[in-house]
Amino acid sequence: METFQALLTQKLAEALTAADLPQAGAVTPATDARFGDYQTNAALVLAKQLGQDPRALAQKIVDHLAVSEWCDPPTIAGAGFINLTLRTATIAAQTAGLLRDEGLGVEKAATPKRIVIDFGSPNVAKPMHVGHIRSTVLGDALARIASFLGHDVIRDNHIGDWGTQFGMVIYGWKNLLDRAALERDPIAELVRIYKGANDRATADSAVREACREELVKLQAGDAENFAIWTECVALSLREFEVAYKILDIHYDIQRGESFYNDRLAGVVERLLKSGLAEISEGAVCVFFRDIPELADKPCIIRKSDGGYNYATTDIATVDYRINDLKADTVWIVTGAPQQLHFRQIFEIAWREGYRADFRHITHGSILGDDRKLMKTRSGENVALRDVLEEAIGRARKIVDEKNPDLPEAERQAVAKIIGIGAVKYADLSQYRMTDYIFSWDRMLSFQGNTAPYLQNAYVRIRSIFRKAGEEFVPAKELVLVAPEERNLATRLCQFGEIVPTVLNDFRPNVLANYLFELANSFHAFYEACPVLKSTEPARSSRLALCELTARILHRGLDLLGIAVPEKM
């Protein structure tokens, strides 16, 4: 279905052409409902370009703006804003159409892309911690939204399963391992033996050399060390999957850094042969002398000792994603500190002739009450599993208080939905570059912009239909009399406008804020407009508004990776 915004934007373009004016400005939802439903600043933009009076330009545009079929006569306000108010009958017809539209007003992308989204990316032999929430839930939400818009999405978990730390892990495995502890808590034991090996290496140069030799043996394909490494990877992946199952995160492929090992020598040889790389002080580097901000920051792709590093692996990863996966778009979701690294990687890819759309989607950090990175009292990273389990436990207490009559299994299922949804929404409702303070009380509140508030709105609607005790039959026509009905219907029609904009700057918070406003509009409608006790045709019309609100809340939260319960 064509959205109001798309329709009015087209009519604005036609009016500008008819008025012999350049294309300028945009049609956006009105910031204040008192002045209409949509507005455009086209006259103000043109006034700056042409040096003319904005109100006179606005009048010229309005004179050619053919929107009478859908809107009341346009009005001019302030310095030259053009305000557009939809006819109530227009809103009613569009809303009724949404009930028959599986996409709920969201149109598929005109030019679908094959997108590889790299997100999550935990490290083997280390626990996933609270910091992994941001990349994981942000990447998952973007993948869900891109898929919903019709793009071909490949979710890639680029796991850190190779590197110098494995020298110490293997040394610790051979000299410090407690098999019983490994069975009880594999990741905790791997962390313990790594720390133990590191402490010994710091105090004893002989141990440090032994760790280095273990790494060399692994890289040379030593059978024993390779077997230890393989078991470490398997144990880690098993732990990761537990967290992903709780979070309802799915990957299409999981490619560790080790997957690219046999491609690294070829990367260096190719870049040297093409002249993009050169030898400098024994190392192979790519210089960016023509880019001021990178001029003194070369990218080392082979160290002077002959070893490779993350940059080499990431260049090989680009090759794989473009040549093997046939991606025309690559999104990498990581923290902001890696901006320089990926700026270099993408620049090298561009110089090699790759014309894919490469995007590094950065994000801020999760903070504790002290406004510093969230840590345990001992200064360790807070384990992700601990956060998820506490979220479910806290939500369970809320469910027990609110609905003690729910069967045990249902209470636990609802607690998981509320707890995990609260953690995800607390992150996704923030602008991705914003650092935010992790607060259990705030995220689990049933008031304000939280997942429980939105989930409760959905549950309230479902309870209406349970009380009705009848199968929902869509009304052929909607009757919007009360202002709360009209406002809710208008908000429902904007879902198709909001969802595509999320990918413009990779901002799921835009969708989250829309859903919050939708829930607010529903609650205002619910308080002002009786549903089941009203007479026809209002009753059927209001049930239709309830049904559509539930569908959009359900779909919108699902696009954020958040489930909804039927009862709370």
Same domain, 62 and 171: no
Say if residues 66 and 106 touch (Cβ distance below 8 Å).
no
Same domain, 205 and 80: no
Q: What pLDDT sits at residue 307?
A: 87
**pLDDT tens, 217-253?**
998 899 999 999 999 999 999 999 999 999 999 999 9
- What is the model's pTM? 0.94
**pLDDT tens, 116-152?**
999 999 999 999 999 899 999 999 999 999 999 999 9
Q: Give, to the nearest 10 degrees, the angle between helix 483-493 and helix 508-528.
A: 160
**377 — pLDDT class (breaks 50, 70, 90):** low
How far is 146 from 148, CA to CA, in rounded Å?
A: 5
Kindly report the CATH number assigned to the domain that includes residue 20. 3.30.1360.70
Same domain, 430 and 543: yes
Q: What pLDDT sits at residue 376?
A: 67
Closest CA to 114 of 335, 322, 290, 349: 322
Q: What does the H/E/C string look like for 381-432?
A: ECEHHHHHHHHHHHHHHHHHHHCCCCCHHHHHHHHHHHHHHHHHHHHHCCCC
Same domain, 420 and 553: yes
Q: What pLDDT sits at residue 86?
A: 97
Any domain includes 355? no
Residue found by looking up tokens 């998981």 in the block: 416
Same domain, 82 and 169: no
Element spanning 524, H or E = helix 508-528
Any domain includes 136? no
The stretch 90-107 carries a mean pLDDT of 96
Same domain, 179 and 80: no
Say if residues 15 and 23 touch (Cβ distance below 8 Å).
no
Same domain, 80 and 213: no
**Which of 57, 86, 115 represents a domain boundary (last residue)?**
86
SS3 content of the chain, % helix, strand, coil (to 5): 55, 10, 35
Which structure tokens are listed for 539?
């009753």
Kindly report the CATH number assigned to the domain that includes residue 433. 1.10.730.10
Q: What is the number of domains present in the chain?
A: 3
Same domain, 425 and 552: yes
Concatenated DSSP letters of 424-475: HHHHHTS-TT--EE--HHHHT-SSSSSHHHHHHHHHHHHHHHHHHTS-----
Q: Is 78 helix (H, G, I), strand (E, B) or coil?
A: coil
The stretch 371-391 carries a mean pLDDT of 85
* Measured torsion, CA atoms of residues 452, 453, 456, 461, in degrees rounded to the nearest 10: -150
The stretch 60-71 carries a mean pLDDT of 96
Any domain includes 316? no
Same domain, 429 and 527: yes
How far is 24 from 48, CA to CA, in rounded Å?
A: 11
Closest CA to 383 of 175, 132, 552: 132
**pLDDT tens, 169-204?**
999 999 999 999 999 999 999 999 999 999 999 999
Any domain includes 328? no
Lowest mean pLDDT: which of 51-65, 344-358, 459-473, 506-520?
Answer: 459-473
The stretch 532-544 carries a mean pLDDT of 94
**Which of 227, 247, 267 represents a domain boundary (last residue)?**
247
Any domain includes 64? yes
Question: In this structure, how many other beta carbons lie within 10 angstroms of the beta carbon of residue 180?
Answer: 8
Residue found by looking up tokens 């050619």 in the block: 64
Q: What pLDDT sits at residue 371?
A: 87
**pLDDT tens, 358-374?**
999 999 999 988 888 88
Same domain, 429 and 526: yes
Q: What percent of the chain has pLDDT over 70?
A: 99
Does residue 91 surpass a pLDDT of 70?
Answer: yes
Residue found by looking up tokens 């953690």 in the block: 423
How far is 174 from 231, CA to CA, in rounded Å?
A: 13
Does residue 214 surpass a pLDDT of 80?
Answer: yes
Same domain, 197 and 64: no
**Which of 204, 227, 247 represents a domain boundary (last residue)?**
247
Any domain includes 341? no
Any domain includes 360? no
Any domain includes 510? yes
Q: Check residue 72 and report its DSSP letter.
A: S
Same domain, 81 and 169: no
**Containing structural domain, residue 51:** 4-86
Peptide bond into 537 cis (omega under 30): yes
Does residue 13 surpass a pLDDT of 70?
Answer: yes
Does residue 375 surpass a pLDDT of 80?
Answer: no
- State the first-to-last Cα distance of the chain, in angstroms, to the nearest integer: 34
Amino acid at 184: R
Q: What pLDDT sits at residue 442?
A: 95
